[in-house]
A and B are shown apart, each in its own frame.
Chain A
Amino acid sequence: ILNVEQSPQSLHVQEGDSTNFTCSFPSSNFYALHWYRWETAKSPEALFVMTLNGDEKKKGRISATLNTKEGYSYLYIKGSQPEDSATYLCAFDMDSNYQLIWGAGTKLIIKP
């Protein structure tokens, strides 16, 4: 059974602090890794699609790294703001079989 694990499950961070969390996925048959941001009462929105080992992507204060050999990706948020409060989901794409395998998400709460 393929499993995508995200840790921690939830995270409380003080406004202004930087933080990071992890997505672990099977290291074999890797095709792509997706990161999504899901705010309460809204729909998930794509952040990054990562395909190459060593990939680093950045969007504003949010960045992500990818290690396909060991099967993990980190998402970093620099200088957290209240609007960063959301659940961050990763999804693993194996061998382009069209079905993403989703992690349960890391719920990030920014304390003002």
Chain B
Amino acid sequence: DSGVTQTPKHLITATGQRVTLRCSPRSGDLSVYWYQQSLDQGLQFLIQYYNGEERAKGNILERFSAQQFPDLHSELNLSSLELGDSALYFCASSGWVSTDTQYFGPGTRLTVL
């Protein structure tokens, strides 16, 4: 158990809908990262937050947004969902330096029908 929690574990929805994925980092970790893993693809970095502020942005679509709240939990919002958004979404957390290990949550499996 990494100490990072993600909810829900599975999510099935329809095209055009909007969903919110939630992540609680390990106790004491200030950084939260979001990743997408599509079928047969590697980990794609989406976005990072540090202590409530956006720190780095990867290949995140404009239809996706995220935020980190004062209690350090984070939410990833996916809107106008398309079939291709079906993927495993991981959240990871780490300390404040980039050489800190990232601890991954169990992931949320999103299926868009």
Which residues of the other chain, A, contact B106 by a CB distance below 8 angstroms?
A: 42-43
A13 at the interface (CB under 8 A from B): no
A69-112 contacts to B (CB < 8 Å) = 89, 93, 96-105
- CB of A89 within 8 A of CB of B42, answer yes
A17 at the interface (CB under 8 A from B): no
20 CB < 8 A contacts A-B: A31-B99, A32-B99, A42-B106, A43-B106, A43-B107, A51-B99, A89-B42, A93-B99, A97-B98, A98-B48, A98-B50, A98-B55, A99-B48, A100-B45, A101-B45, A102-B44, A103-B42, A104-B41, A104-B42, A105-B42
Q: With the chains together, A93 CA to B56 CA distance in Å?
A: 13
- CB of A46 within 8 A of CB of B98, answer no
Which residues of the other chain, A, contact B97 by a CB distance below 8 angstroms?
A: 96
Q: Which of A43, A89, A96, A102 has a CB less than 8 Å from the CB of B98?
A: A96
A residues engaging B (CB < 8 A)?
31-32, 34, 42-46, 49, 51, 89, 93, 96-105
B 93-104 binary contact with A (CB < 8 Å = 1; else 0): 000011111111
